[in-house]
């Protein structure tokens, strides 16, 4: 018994697992990595590396960062609330609210529903990889450049003709959530940023969460963001375009604020029961059935056998990820301050594994 107790005592805690992964992420080349483990009312923060290469100030786990595609769950939640209020149906077509917005190169907004936008089964192509978008964005040549949502949709539609019918299969595309933001504006008269602030940021007291729509800078306590691709020297891209992702990925937040929002969402505080069921109704997002995509959230079967809800976010200079139990009681979040538009890097794999291991250990 004593030997078993000693062995158990030596096992690393969830926070220690996450901290080790943060340290490995810095060894892999990230300037800084921050993280948070939360169970019930108790939270532990971890950090490694720096939040500002120029000053070598340590990465602050309570600092703001760009959350990228984690914005999508906020956008989805607005539309789910609007449905709960009887102001729209997720089965409305895109053309019902945005006539003419999707009507080129074989695409028809009259055959695509809002639900299919939110679960990425619309069949719409991605705009972010187009040369006229990806090149200037990576080089960060004009951080104040304005991108009208319809312009981004038009760029997407021009990329290719449809290769699947709406509702046929999962295909992740930021175009879906740009259109989702446009639907919010059509229904409410306000942009997604205004609705998200009114419905979630203010009621939940998310003091360090913002949805910038024109200002490309970060303010207050924040991580500096960097790109460190093979062909370039490290560049500070903290000031970068926000309209290029908008309702698909423009928000700024912190570990604590995100954990608060995700817990409120997962516990049903923000949505009526019918809309909670819709949020969590998934479509297959990979071949082996271990990942399903709901409405702005993923359900993931982890190697340890546990299931989690979550998502990740990747925009110029920042990569983040969250995992949550069904009841929102167990949460793991982490972020780093380097992203150069490539997925599957060693740093991403190592920090993701640490987050998964920490969640499995809760």
On whether residue 2 sits in a domain, the answer given is no
Distance set, CA 279 to CA 41, 69, 90, 190, 266 (Å): 25, 16, 11, 23, 10
Q: Which residue do the tokens 């192509």 mark? A: 125
The pLDDT assigned to 228 comes to 86
The pLDDT assigned to 28 comes to 95
On whether residue 325 sits in a domain, the answer given is yes
- Whole-structure pTM value: 0.96
The pLDDT assigned to 9 comes to 62
On whether residue 7 sits in a domain, the answer given is no
On whether residue 119 sits in a domain, the answer given is yes
The pLDDT assigned to 230 comes to 62
Q: Which CATH number do you get for residue 53?
A: 3.40.710.10
On whether residue 255 sits in a domain, the answer given is yes
Known active-site residue 325: no
**Domain range holding 99?**
13-361
- Measure the CA–CA gap between 347 and 345, rounded to whole angstroms: 5
Which residues, including other chains, have CB under 8 Å from residue 70's CB and lie 6 or more apart? Answer: 249, 251, 253, 258, 311, 312, 313, 320, 322
- Split into its structural domains, the chain has a count of 1
Structure letter (DSSP) for residue 113: B
Mean pLDDT of the 186-205 span? 98
Mean pLDDT of the chain: 96
- Measure the CA–CA gap between 300 and 73, rounded to whole angstroms: 16
Q: Which residue do the tokens 């539609």 mark? A: 157
Over 80: is that where the pLDDT of 229 sits? no
On whether residue 33 sits in a domain, the answer given is yes
On whether residue 3 sits in a domain, the answer given is no
On whether residue 5 sits in a domain, the answer given is no
Mean pLDDT of the 34-47 span? 97
One of 20, 69, 122, 164 is an active-site residue; which one? 69
- Measure the CA–CA gap between 317 and 228, rounded to whole angstroms: 9
Share of the chain above pLDDT 90, in %: 95
Higher-pLDDT residue of 233, 145: 145
Q: Which residue do the tokens 């570990």 mark? A: 255
């Amino acid at each position: 018994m004593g030997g078993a107790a000693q062995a158990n005592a030596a096992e690393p805690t969830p926070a220690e697992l996450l901290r080790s992964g943060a340290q490995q992420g810095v060894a892999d080349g990230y300037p800084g990595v921050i993280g948070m483990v939360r169970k019930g009312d108790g939270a532990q923060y971890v950090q490694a590396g720096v939040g500002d290469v120029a000053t070598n100030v340590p990465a602050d786990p309570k600092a703001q960062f760009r959350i990228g595609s984690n914005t999508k769950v906020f956008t989805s939640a607005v539309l789910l609330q609007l449905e709960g209020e009887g102001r729209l149906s997720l089965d409305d077509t895109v053309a019902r609210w945005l006539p003419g917005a999707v009507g080129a190169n074989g695409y028809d907004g009259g055959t695509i529903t809002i639900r299919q936008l939110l679960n990425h089964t619309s069949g719409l192509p991605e705009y972010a990889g187009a040369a006229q978008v990806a090149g200037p964005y990576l080089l960060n040549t004009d951080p104040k450049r304005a991108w009208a949502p319809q312009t981004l949709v038009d760029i997407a539609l021009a990329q290719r003709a449809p290769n699947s019918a709406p509702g046929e299969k999962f295909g992740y595309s930021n175009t879906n959530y740009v259109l989702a933001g446009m639907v919010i504006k059509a229904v409410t008269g306000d942009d997604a940023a205004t609705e998200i602030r009114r419905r979630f940021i203010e009621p939940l007291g998310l003091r360090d969460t913002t949805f910038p729509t024109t200002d490309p800078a970060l303010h207050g306590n924040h991580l500096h963001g960097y790109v460190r691709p093979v062909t370039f020297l490290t560049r500070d891209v903290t000031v970068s375009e926000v309209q290029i992702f908008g309702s698909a990925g423009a928000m700024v937040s912190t570990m604590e604020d995100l954990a608060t929002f995700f817990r409120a969402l997962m516990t049903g505080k923000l949505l009526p029961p019918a809309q909670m069921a819709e949020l969590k109704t998934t479509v297959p997002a990979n071949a082996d059935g271990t990942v399903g995509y709901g409405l702005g959230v993923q359900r993931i079967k982890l190697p340890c056998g546990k299931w989690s809800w979550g998502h990740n976010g990747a925009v110029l200079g920042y990569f983040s990820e969250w995992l949550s139990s069904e009841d929102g009681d167990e949460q793991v979040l982490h972020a780093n301050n380097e992203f150069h538009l490539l997925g599957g890097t060693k740093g991403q794999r190592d920090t993701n594994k640490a987050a998964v291991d920490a969640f499995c250990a809760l």
